[in-house]
Homo-oligomer: A and B are copies of this chain.
Amino acid sequence: MDKTTLARLEARAKIIKAMAHPTRLFIVDELSRQERCVCEMTEMIGADVSTVSRHLTVLRNAGIVQDEKRGTMVFYSLRVPCVLNFFSCVESVLETTAKEQMKLVR
């Protein structure tokens, strides 16, 4: 695999990796409905604020969300809605697997 190909793959993997965490999936899902400040997210997630802030940073660095400061609060919103397409495919992977499992049981 040549260097250019690898660089391309790494850039793409970085974006997918940003989605590859339960908390961050939650965040993306929530932001697909409405923008949220860090404090609201923290409240919903139930982790330390610093942890949530870092998750949001990962998503921002990947270009998936954007932030906007208003007063002391920072509001995050979804920048690229197509990431929601990930969900439907993930569902179909889970469904396919579940159906296979069923076959083995019966």
Interface residues of A (CB under 8 A from B): 1, 5-6, 9-13, 15-17, 19-26, 44-46, 62-64, 79-80, 82-83, 85-94, 96-97
Residue of B nearest to A13 (CB): B22
In Å, the complex CA distance between A84 and B53 comes to 30
Could you jot down 24 A-B contacts, CB within 8 Å? A1-B26, A1-B44, A9-B22, A10-B22, A12-B22, A12-B87, A12-B90, A13-B22, A13-B24, A16-B16, A16-B19, A16-B20, A16-B25, A20-B20, A63-B96, A63-B97, A64-B93, A79-B96, A80-B89, A80-B93, A80-B96, A82-B89, A82-B92, A86-B86
